[in-house]
Structure 1
Amino acid sequence: MKLESEWIQEDVVLENPLLKLSLRGLKYYGVLLHRSQPWKKLNCFRAIFFTISMFAFNITQYVDLFQVWGNVSEMTANASTTLLFTTTVVRVLHLYWNRARFNAIIQKADQVIRHILHQGTEEERQILNENVVYMRRLTVGFWIFAMITANTMCVYSLIQYYGTQPTERSKWMHHPPTILRSWYPSSNLVDHFAIVYGIQLYIMCVGQLIVPCWHVFVVSLMVFVRTVLMILNYKLSNLRLYEISVLRDDFPVWESKRCQLRKKLLIQCTQLQCDIYDFTRELENLIKGAVLMDFLIFSVLLCALLFEASVTASVVQVFIDVLYITTMTAILFLYYWHANKISYHANCLSKSVFSSDWYNYPRSVNRHLLMMICCNRKQLTMKAFFVSMSLDTFIAILRASYSYFTILKQAVD
């Protein structure tokens, strides 16, 4: 693993308000490092150890899936965690492979945010601060909910084991809940419960670190794009205010000076528009594989969770399944909702241009406005190859999941 050329600057990790929480999580996992961080090779080793252990655990889950093949109830209970760990391992490997490109867009986002904080107007900083508060609440809320879901599964397994009579434990251990489905050291499962539970508790803790961290990291980059588009819309619809802030007085001012300032502002907006479009395309290229995998897998995963909740007799297990379903649905919703918001704010640029006082300026100035409108003719829609990231796609995934569930339910009944 290359370390020297692909570090993240320390100030990016510690000061970027939009990305700070997610980048700290990736740093603790060991995927992304910064220049002044001590024991860099040890941190890299930690990330490699976490990833290899998750990969090995995921292989045993597929072995277990093969062993219970044909038993629909056991298969769906297995698939609910197996598919999630598969997507997680693929994401971590993808981040390893493309860490230089991820670092580049993080640096780019940091530069733009620093420019807004130090050189932007009060209104621009207010838009940024509102999105920072929004991202922090979203991050904390998603982390808390994900941790509640995972830890409820762990605690429930422990309570079930110690709440069962010793003479009944060996019978119960042949049908453990999802958290205890693999990594059995021997056929005498009761005697090795502590080892089995400890191994899988460790895997669950690693998953609690990387799963919310990755999703929040990607969503924070999407919120960054939305923030810049919101600021750009504000600038285009309030060009006159920017001129007044520079000239300090609207009249009397030489007409040529006002036109030159307007041209300069429009050129800056056009450059910002091109930069954020390029940033979005690079982000799309980096996450389209993972999003497509979610599109193909999450329908099956949600179907498995729905079926497991419908056949279990335990109220607590149903509650866990509901939490799990909500978490998985929230992950999909965060991606498609923010991609939809990016498309919406990008499409508003032409309206913002038209809402300015363009009629007070000659054609030589308005030519730059026409250039922006022409650049905005092609919609900024994020895609995962052939899958459009929009709310319509999100609803289609939910419909497909429910359709799979009803077909499976009818087949079993």
Structure 2
Amino acid sequence: MSDKCSIQNVLKFLEDPKYPSVGPHLKLLGFTGLWHPNRQTTVLGHIVSAYVVGWDTLVVSIMIFFAGQLKITCMYCRLAIDLLNSSKSHDNIAQCHRFHTTLVEYTHLFNALISPVMFVYLVVIAINLGVCIIQIVEIHDDIATLVSSILFVVACLIQLLLFYWFANEVTIESTFVSYSTFESDWPQANNKLQKEIALLGLTTKKILVFRAGPFNQMSLTTFIAILRASYSFYTLLNSTN
């Protein structure tokens, strides 16, 4: 406490008109008090923010990874048939099936981990969008608050769009796997390989979907629905006010 008082006394002394070369500069810089950049609340806020950013980056990266693995699966299915070696074709088909089955298994595990968090994100961001839109509409003279509110809304939309865009990419790529089996050279293969290709096409028809909670599919359609829900929430609050 004594240190703080002594520093404040020094600042008041330097701001004295007797020291014109120093005082005006201190007033311009706004030395009216003390600020501790490493205080506990600030550090805690930085830690939480870094954790959230890291978690979001990790989730989006894994979604991109799954989309890339599905593209690789499509490539494997197109190259499954070797017309010169029936035994190798059989092994390729079995490998495609194992690869796709493993990918589906890990996708379900990943969805089970992120689904509750994505549901919380959905609810929180939808409410934040509605409240911020009302705040933006009611702001008239405070430009700084208006800009910060608009930037917050844009940041929320970008964050949600990243999740739903890449989740939608995984869903789209999963629909191409079954189709790619029939892009191979199966018409020239023998009957046994044709039957195996047909079975591979049936077993890879499963569409992979990420969900935000038990009801909401993560897709661009759902993203647009969230925007509509936020606007409906805004109109409801605006009418009550």
- Shared fold, TM over 0.5: yes
Number of matched residues? 212
Residue equivalent to 2:190: 362
User: Is 1:236 aligned to 2:77, yes or no?
Assistant: yes
Residue equivalent to 1:65: none
Pairing 1:13-412 to 2, within 5 Å after superposition: 194=35, 198-239=39-80, 243=82, 253=84, 258-312=85-139, 313-383=141-211, 384-412=213-241
Question: Equivalents in 2 of 1:353, 1:260: separation in Å?
Answer: 17
SS of equivalent to 2:35:
helix
Which of 1 and 2 has higher RCO (CA within 8 Å, sep 6+)?
2
SS of equivalent to 1:201:
helix
Q: CA deviation at 1:195?
A: 6.0
Letter in 1 for 2:159: I
Q: Deviations over 1:52-97 (max 9, x none)?
A: xxxxxxxxxxxxxxxxxxxxxxxxxxxxxxxxxxxxxxxxxxxxxx
Letter in 1 for 2:229: A
Q: Deviations over 1:230-259 (max 9, x none)?
A: 11112222345xx5xxxxxx8xx5xxxx11
- What percentage of aligned pairs have identical amino acids? 22
Structure 1 residues 284 and 354: alpha-carbon distance in aligned structure 2, compared to 1, 3 A threshold: same
Q: CA deviation at 1:406?
A: 2.1
Q: CA deviation at 1:357?
A: 1.0
Question: Equivalents in 1 of 2:51, 2:186: separation in Å?
Answer: 49
TM, length-normalised to structure 2: 0.79
Question: Equivalents in 1 of 2:182, 2:102: separation in Å?
Answer: 21
Q: CA deviation at 1:198?
A: 4.2
Q: CA deviation at 1:298?
A: 1.6
Question: Equivalents in 2 of 1:407, 1:163: separation in Å?
Answer: 45
Quick check: 2:209–2:218 contact (8 Å CA) kept in 1?
yes
TM, length-normalised to structure 1: 0.48
Question: Equivalents in 1 of 2:79, 2:202: separation in Å?
Answer: 20
Letter in 2 for 1:368: E
Residue equivalent to 1:50: none
Residue equivalent to 2:14: none
Letter in 2 for 1:307: I
Question: Equivalents in 1 of 2:130, 2:216: separation in Å?
Answer: 20
Letter in 1 for 2:189: Y
Quick check: 2:174–2:206 contact (8 Å CA) kept in 1?
no
Instruction: Give the number of the structure whose alpha-carbon radius of gyration is greater.
Output: 2
RMSD of Structure 2 on Structure 1 (CA): 2.5
Q: CA deviation at 1:287?
A: 0.6
Residue equivalent to 1:99: none
Unaligned stretches of 5+ in structure 2? Answer: 1-27
